[in-house]
């Protein structure tokens, strides 16, 4: 079994490398998920055979009180910025006073969050943020969830520290903002902002859900290998299993380097990730050492920053999109214009306050750009081009889809349709109800939902539980097998649990995390529906706005009807709390040295099973230091701080 688990682990690691590093998957996502599921099952059954840094660590789930600090032994320097060819020429002229005929490497400057990754004998041991360059934060557990980061290297070097840029792919950024928009949560401004927020989550499971990735661009320290140039280092990092800078080119003159920068800039709109510039570095490490650094930045490198591309076009009309929660969003219909690699014909105007503050009128000449090179936005109006026939815009008094009078509450920027039967909301509510984080109804995608709605088979999401085989089998895209599979999936979802039901109902401001908190607190749907705002705000993480949304939802006759229909259909509307032994609740353990019988991972799992937490560094907040043979500086620090030190025998007494 030990050999089989090792073989299965290596197989999964190879598939991860093919997919996330080489962008060349050799199996389907479904097949990959099956392998992970099998490994998780075996590790639970045979925990003594679970390998350190198993691929199952990538699912996340560890919750921290806060991040420990990490002091960087090699400073994580920032770069001097350049905004013109002239500044690059000045940089080149200065270098040539010290270095004759410098060879440059030009590579993309990924717009993300800079991190350090440390490996000992090929195993990933710690990851940290850049911070101020000298001190960062320990985000090891969150970094483990990023599938492009190898948890084990192909060679067992004594030690290597590399630097990389964690980023959020464009597709993941758009999906995340779409979900946040549905929940009426603040949108992330750009992928960098989203990546930074995702990496600094105290719950690593949330980070795992954000689909972050990474490019490695530098070796900070290395033992057991001699590297003399940057390009040699990048090539070597590839052989170790790292995903390195996507393109890098050797250049022998600053003009050649500038041409490569322009080439990268012209293509940045076609990339699946965001870049904000290009970096020029001296290739030879001896030359770097001669040139040295200032207090913050190396003298041997410079970053060329691209300006946001802006174009003028005509705003032909303003139309309204009605969202899942009834929010009316004005959208600019533009004369098509090519910008940042794609043709743009529409741009969100957010709300009437934005339109008013910028004095945007139909017929105006406007300047547009892509926020973060991704989301089209209207920057400003070119008022000197007005001809006098431009039309000021007013929000409609009635919903353009159902005709219901719209409302705008005093504390909101949004204008809203409050009709729960509005067809525009109905489709989006159904999609949300069936989604993976809600009732997780497999096979019920947007196309099928639209068909079901178009055939007038459902008025609200709860009608899904009353669909019949004969209703579905005659529909396009559905035959006998698909209809039966869909009905089975709907039936299976009845046991999804109260927390998922609460989220699926689409209560304003209530996400999946709040759904679980409410389910654990109230136990069943009736208790929740009868709760007052005062009772709700006494719960941690439930604020006044959320409490008001919950009370308003359950005071609606339509909502009560939905709950009754769910009950009658047999949907599980109660929450079963699992009984846990939390003897280590509130305690923090630090493990150091080699234990006689437990591996560190096994001891950590036991601690977390009993409600405790583990940390990689000792502080005054540490409860116990569990020390084995060859315990190092952590043991010394624990003694200095007076932290209680225990051995494995004492630990066994505590857990038995």
Q: pLDDT tens digits, residue range 352-364?
A: 899 999 999 999 9
pLDDT of residue 454: 78
Query: Which of 50, 62, 109, 144 does the annotation list as catalytic?
Result: 109
Residue 656 — very low, low, confident or very high, per pLDDT cuts 50/70/90?
A: confident
For residue 416, give the nearest of 428, 426, 406 by alpha carbon.
406
The whole-number average pLDDT for the span 237-258 is 93
> What rounded mean pLDDT belongs to the chain?
86
Annotate 222-238 with b (16+ C-beta within 10 A) or e (fewer): beeeeeebbbebbebbe
The tokens of 354 are what? Answer: 């934005």
DSSP secondary structure, 390-416, as one string:
-EE----SB-TTT-PBPB--TT-S-EE
The answer on pLDDT for 451 being more than 90 is: no
Q: What is the mean pLDDT of residues 425-436?
A: 83
* pLDDT at residue 373 tops 60: no
Instruction: Evaluate if residue 381 carries a pLDDT over 80.
Output: yes
Confidence tier at 578 by pLDDT (50, 70, 90): low
Res 118: pLDDT: 95
On whether the CB atoms of residues 381 and 360 are closer than 8 A, the answer is yes
pLDDT confidence bin for 182, thresholds 50/70/90? low
3-state secondary structure of 495: helix
pLDDT at 625 over 60: yes
Confidence of residue 372 (pLDDT cuts 50, 70, 90): low
pLDDT, mean of residues 256-283: 89
**pLDDT of residue 448 exceeding 80:** yes
Q: Give dist(CA 573, CA 583) in Å, integer.
A: 30
Average of per-residue pLDDT across 376-400:
91
- What was the pLDDT predicted at 104? 96
How far apart are the C-alpha atoms of 538 and 552, rounded to whole Å? 17
| CB neighbour class for 3 (10 Å; exposed up to 12, middle 13-18, buried from 19) | exposed
The sign of the CA dihedral 297, 299, 301, 306 is positive
Q: What is the DSSP letter of 299?
A: T
Strands 69-71 and 644-646: unpaired
At residue 253 the predicted structure's pLDDT band, cuts being 50, 70 and 90, is very high
Q: What does the alpha-carbon distance between residue 427 and residue 285 come to, in Å, rounded to a whole number?
A: 59
pLDDT digits (tens, 9 = 90+) for 603-614: 887 887 788 888
Q: Read off the pLDDT of residues 200-233 as tens digits, 9 standing for 90 and up.
A: 888 888 888 888 999 999 999 999 999 999 999 9
109 is catalytic: yes
Q: How far apart are CA 608 and CA 426, in angstroms?
A: 42
Task: Write the Ramachandran bin of 53: left for phi over 0, alpha for psi from -120 to 50, otherwise beta.
Answer: left
Model confidence over 301-337: pLDDT tens digits? 999 988 777 889 999 999 998 876 788 889 999 999 8
Sorting pLDDT into bands at 50, 70 and 90, what band is 479? Answer: confident
In this prediction, residue 60 carries a pLDDT of: 61
Query: Lowest-pLDDT range, 50-54, 184-188, 393-397?
Result: 184-188
Lowest-confidence segment of 172-176, 290-294, 496-500, 631-635 by average pLDDT: 631-635
Q: How confident is the model at residue 281 (pLDDT cuts 50, 70, 90)?
A: very high
């Amino acid at each position: 079994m030990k050999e089989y688990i090792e073989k299965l682990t290596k197989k999964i690691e190879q598939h991860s490398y093919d997919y996330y590093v080489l962008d060349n998957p050799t199996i389907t996502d479904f097949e990959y998920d099956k392998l992970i599921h099998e490994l998780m099952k075996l590790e639970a059954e045979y925990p003594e055979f679970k390998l350190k840094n198993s691929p199952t660590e990538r699912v996340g789930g560890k919750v921290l009180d806060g991040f420990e600090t990490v002091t960087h032994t090699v400073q994580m320097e920032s770069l001097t910025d350049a905004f013109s060819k002239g500044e690059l020429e000045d940089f080149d002229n200065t270098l040539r006073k010290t270095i004759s005929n410098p060879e440059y490497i030009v590579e993309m400057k990924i717009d993300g969050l800079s991190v350090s990754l440390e490996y000992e004998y090929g195993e990933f041991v710690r990851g940290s943020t850049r911070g101020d360059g000298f001190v960062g934060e320990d985000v090891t557990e969150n970094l483990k969830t990023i599938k492009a980061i190898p948890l084990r290297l192909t060679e067992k070097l004594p030690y290597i520290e590399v630097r990389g840029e964690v980023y959020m792919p464009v597709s993941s950024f758009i999906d995340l903002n779409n979900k946040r928009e549905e929940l009426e949560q603040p949108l992330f401004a750009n992928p960098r902002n989203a990546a930074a927020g995702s990496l600094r989550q105290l719950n690593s499971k949330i980070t795992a859900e954000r689909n972050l990735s990474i490019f490695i661009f530098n070796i900070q320290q290395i033992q057991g290998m001699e590297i003399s140039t940057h390009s040699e280092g990048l090539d070597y990092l590839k052989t170790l299993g790292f995903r390195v800078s996507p393109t890098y080119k050797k250049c022998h003159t600053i003009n050649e380097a500038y041409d490569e920068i322009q080439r990268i800039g012209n293509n940045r709109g076609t990339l699946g990730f965001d870049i904000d510039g290009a970096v020029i570095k001296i290739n030879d490490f001896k030359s770097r050492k001669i040139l040295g650094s200032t207090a913050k930045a190396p003298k041997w490198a410079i970053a060329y920053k691209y300006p946001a591309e802006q174009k003028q076009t005509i705003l032909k009309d303003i139309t309204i999109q009605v969202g899942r929660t009834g929010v009316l969003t004005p959208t600019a219909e533009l004369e098509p214009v090519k910008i940042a690699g794609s043709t743009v014909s529409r741009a969100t105007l957010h709300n009437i306050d934005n339109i008013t503050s910028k004095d945007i009128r139909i017929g105006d000449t406007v300047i547009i750009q892509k926020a973060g090179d991704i989301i089209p936005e209207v920057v400003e109006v070119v008022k000197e081009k007005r001809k006098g026939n431009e039309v000021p815009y007013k929000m409609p008094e009635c919903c353009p889809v159902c005709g219901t009078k719209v409302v705008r509450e005093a504390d909101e920027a949004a204008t809203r349709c409050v009709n729960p039967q509005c067809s525009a909301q109905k489709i989006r509510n159904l999609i949300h109800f069936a989604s993976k984080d809600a009732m997780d109804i497999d096979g019920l995608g947007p196309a099928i939902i639209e068909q079901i709605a178009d055939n007038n088979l459902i008025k609200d999401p709860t009608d899904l539980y009353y669909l019949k085989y004969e209703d579905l089998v005659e529909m396009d895209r559905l035959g006998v097998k698909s209809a039966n599979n869909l009905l089975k999936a709907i039936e299976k979802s009845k046991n999804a649990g109260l927390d998922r039901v609460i989220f699926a109902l689409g209560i304003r401001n209530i996400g999946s995390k709040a759904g679980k908190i409410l389910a654990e607190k109230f136990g069943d749907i009736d208790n929740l529906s009868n709760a007052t705002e005062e009772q709700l705000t006494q719960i941690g993480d439930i604020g006044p706005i959320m409490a008001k949304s919950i009370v308003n939802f359950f005071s609606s006759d339509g909502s009560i009807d939905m709950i009754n229909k769910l009950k009658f259909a047999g949907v599980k509307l109660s929450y079963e709390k699992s009984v846990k032994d939390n003897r280590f609740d509130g305690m923090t353990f630090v493990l150091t040295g080699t234990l006689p019988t437990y591996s560190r991972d096994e001891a950590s799992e036991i601690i977390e099973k009993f409600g405790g937490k583990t940390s990689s560094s000792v502080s005054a907040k540490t409860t116990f230091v569990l020390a084995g043979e060859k315990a190092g500086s952590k043991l010394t620090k624990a003694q200095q701080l007076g932290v209680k030190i225990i051995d494995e025998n004492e630990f066994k007494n505590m857990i038995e």
